[in-house]
Amino acid sequence: MSHDSHHAPVACKTELAPERSDLGLYRPDRATGWTDWLTTVDHKKIGILYGAFAMLYFLIGGVEALAIRTQLARPDNDFVTARMYNQLFTMHGTTMIFLGVMPLSAAFFNFLVPLQVGARDVAFPRLNAFSLWTFVFGAFVLNASWLFEFGHLAGWFDSFAWHKALVYTDFAPANGWFSYAPLSGTFGANGQALRFTGVGTDFWIIGIQVLGIASLAASFNFICTIINMRAKGMTMMRLPVFTWMALVTSVLIILAFPAITVALIELMFDRAFGANFFNPSAGGQPVLWQHLFWIFGHPEVYILVLPAMGIVSEVLPTFSGKSLFGYPIIVFSGAVIGFLGFAVWSHHMFTTGLGPVPTAAFSLLTMAIAVPTGVKIFNWLGTIWGGRIRFTPPMVLALGFIWMFMCGGFSGVMHSSAPADSQQQDSYFVIAHFHYVLLGGVLLGLMAGLYFWFPKIFGRMPNAPVAYLGSALVILGFNLAFGPMHYLGLAGQPRRTHTYHAGNGWETWNYVATIGAYILGIGVVIVFGNLVWTAFRGKKCGSDPWDGRTLEWSLPSPVPEYNFAQAPVVATRDAFFEHKHGAKKIGLENDGGEAGVHMPSQSWMPMVASAGFLFIGFGMPMMAMGIPHAGWLVISGLGVLFLGIWLWALEGPGGYMLKTPAPSGAPAPAETVAH
Amino acid sequence: MSDTAAAHEAPTSTGIDHKKLIMWLFLASDCMFFGTLISTHLLYRKLFPAGFTDAEGHQRFIQDLFSIELTSFSTFILLMSSFLMALAVSAMHKGQVKSFRRNVLGVIVFGLIFLGCQVFEFTHFYHKGLTIQNSVLGSTFYVLTGTHGTHVAIGVLWLILLYFYSFTGKLGGHMGALDVEVAGLYWHFVDIVWIIIFTAVYLVEYLGPYGIWGSGLPAVVK
């Protein structure tokens, strides 16, 4: 190991003399600017990058949504073609779920989990960087399909021979975010692999596969961090609720993603190599795709919503001036939701004809999962009950979350009844339901989190009046857009249909929904724009502007790269709040803080390894498209991936010492507390 | 353990090393991965117990295809490789690098024998008419056992790298033993998965005169 070559402690990493890794290459430890961001292993910088990419994709997904709503504003509209419409709604759903909400949750996990458990970084800093860049490249591959689509529309490909061989020419994914077989699969006997859809589906398959790898790697890392890197005295039942929800979410990811990974492999084999997993002509069962997809897909819903629940569970106590009502029950409910989340997948498939016994069982379990969710809502109400409420921007958004999520929960319980669900299946009622859960619930929760922790991340306060305006527009526009869809769905309007004829009685509410969508769009731009402005120009603030409760608020804003100058020792839940206002509950571990803090070395290798996915991501669809020699691109991608991981292992963890400036990074008095 | 050297000495909250914990988590995830693949195969076996039709249009049964003697041999070889892996891990814990090298070389050779058997098996089945394209059985069989073979191949590659790394002198002490132990966990897991695949995909086809799916030919007809 290379740890005997440490340099003398310095206060700032740019003062370091360059250090060679075990490979003999210089580590980019002293880097600043671009190189620093590209090679960083700091969980805070990785979190910021995750957040920035997530916000970018939220805007792209939002533009897709507005194009959909513009098309539907009027009956028999021709703003986009049916073919384009299919691609828009598919990419809208895929983008929002995999490139918007999940990475934004990952941004919070990255930034907060080590701070909340009292650690200096995650368990595997370079693996964390690998997750980030794998996500970035996977997202790029998925969206690059749009570039091919635009190229096709512009006629750039018309002169290529292989282009004429394509019967179906959708270049961006066009199957819906669930890509049901056989539409996404193949037909024909003996490996003919005739397709219903174009190369967009292949981009979707490989894109989701790569994003899954990113999520899995990140989740292994977070579970390890939460279980193994807690500060002294930070027992599991003293963990902040957000960290608890990060743990449950990560467990869900590592157990649910393998199902979609396998399903994607099978579909890829069908399309690229003529296998018959979902090929009806050869006896393949398309309904198997539905099962595999929803065994992943339903836990995925909780993967999306649990982080937002965790955020709300931090925001509400802070601005009510009370501790969280029923902490153990909230934690237990979160775990039960995660557990039951694996037992309700077939409620997405009531109309496939499962038979009365499975249908009844899945109905029952779906109703049961509403119980822990309801328990959480009542606990949040109990938290604000009798509290001294401060209506700050995060609090407004968190209260909005409770209301909107509750509405989505009510229509969700309606779906759990199989006979009612048969009527609502594939109608706009379902669209209304899951947008209330995912937008009214998750997005409002995540926005609350952004406004809550931005002062910690950047040391600057968001502009409150602009935040109120943005929040109000988001909540108003959202209800205008999706409220009427309950009615439209029950009145029979089908989803995923590019237009509708006049005279069905759907015109008015579709028009209203479109107006609502534009108001929502303006609101989101204001909310995000305010945040971007805050990051660069906001008014500077102290380390604890909200009177926070958990460990991260005990650190300076922005947080120094080593987080804790000395490791904290906590003696209670909400230790920082108690420490400020009552008995001293945070001590400092004497771990030789004077000698300096050991920092992990930065590295290019995680990004090099994940760049392999870029080759694979473009190679696989081209191979399935029948472009000659495209398979070599895939093989070279695997080579790059292997090379990156190999050099990563050989370069060694490295590391350098930073001298901490006095105990300023630590909570006031340095005394040990009995616990 | 973690990338931070400070954590080398600092005990983790649970007392379990980070590297070991993350490997257990990966294996938990991999359980679901193989569980999904095996389920796919078994579902289709139940739906289509009749086997497959070869290129000449002849109905073929899975028992015609399998050479249970060969697969039993390769299964035994893989089991024994796990035994050698356990010896290699134990040697590394005692700091006996030479013993580690001997044993890990044995694991590598046994792993390669297993992979060779699989390559032979795939070629043999292909010539008997089972392709990935001509039936659902071909798709599920090749993808399931092929995925397992990929796991074995990655394990072999990993152990080869560890073997050569041990000559640099950097593989030693607690961290070296941990690195070997983590690779051992992976290897044992891949072995256990094969025991399940061997049972669920091969052995049950021989239960009773018609196989568990009620499809096979009686022994006399064969």
pLDDT at B173: 85
Average pLDDT over residues B162-174: 90
Note the pLDDT tens digit of each residue in A133-169.
Answer: 999 999 999 999 999 888 888 888 777 666 555 555 6
Mutate one of A21, A127, A228, A660 to test the B interface: name it (highest B CB count within 10 A).
A228
Q: Which helix (H) or strand (E) holds A586?
A: strand A586-588
* Gap from B15 CA to chain A (nearest CA, Å): 8
* Gap from B14 CA to chain A (nearest CA, Å): 6
- Assigned domain for B107 exists: yes
- Assigned domain for B198 exists: yes
A219 contacts on B by Cβ (under 8 Å): 25
Mutate one of A224, A249, A254, A271 to test the B interface: name it (highest B CB count within 10 A).
A224
Contact A229 B14 (CB under 8 A): no
B35 in Cβ contact with B89 (< 8 Å) = no
Q: How would DSSP label each residue in B70-109?
A: HHHHHHHHHHHHHHHHHHHHHHHHTT-HHHHHHHHHHHHH
Tokens of A214: 């990113």
Angle, vertex CA A291, rays to CA A289 and CA A294, nearest 5: 100
Angle, vertex CA B191, rays to CA B188 and CA B194, nearest 5: 155
Note the pLDDT tens digit of each residue in A378-412.
Answer: 999 999 999 999 999 999 999 999 999 999 999 99
pLDDT at B2 over 70: no
Q: With CA atoms as reference, report the closest residue to A443 among A552, A341, A529, A528.
A: A528
Rounded average pLDDT per 10-residue block, chain A, 675 residues: 44 68 77 89 96 96 97 95 94 97 97 95 95 97 92 79 60 92 88 85 96 97 96 94 97 97 96 93 93 96 96 97 95 95 93 92 94 95 95 96 94 92 94 95 96 96 96 97 96 94 94 97 97 95 94 92 88 91 83 70 94 96 86 96 93 80 46 36
pLDDT at B174: 86
Query: Smallest Cβ distance to B33: which of A22, A230, A261?
Result: A261
Model confidence band, residue B52 (pLDDT cutoffs 50, 70, 90): confident
Contact B139 A276 (CB under 8 A): yes
Tokens of A335: 């775990």
Q: Which DSSP letter does residue A597 get?
A: E
Mutate one of A276, A277, A601 to test the B interface: name it (highest B CB count within 10 A).
A276
pLDDT at A67: 97
Tokens of A493: 């309007």
Q: Compute the distance between CA of residue B63 and CA of residue B209 in angstroms, rounded to an integer.
A: 11
Task: Report the amino acid identity of residue A644.
Answer: G
Model confidence band, residue B217 (pLDDT cutoffs 50, 70, 90): low
Q: With CA atoms as reference, report the closest residue to A101 among A315, A307, A244.
A: A307
Provide the domain count of chain B.
Answer: 1
Q: How many helices (H) and strands (E) does chain B have?
A: 7, 2
State whether the Cα torsion B88-B91-B97-B99 is positive or negative: negative
Tokens 């001298």 sit on residue: A659
Specify the CATH number for the domain of residue B184: 1.20.120.80
A651 in Cβ contact with A22 (< 8 Å) = yes
pLDDT at B215: 63
Contact B22 A598 (CB under 8 A): no
Domain that holds residue B104: 87-213
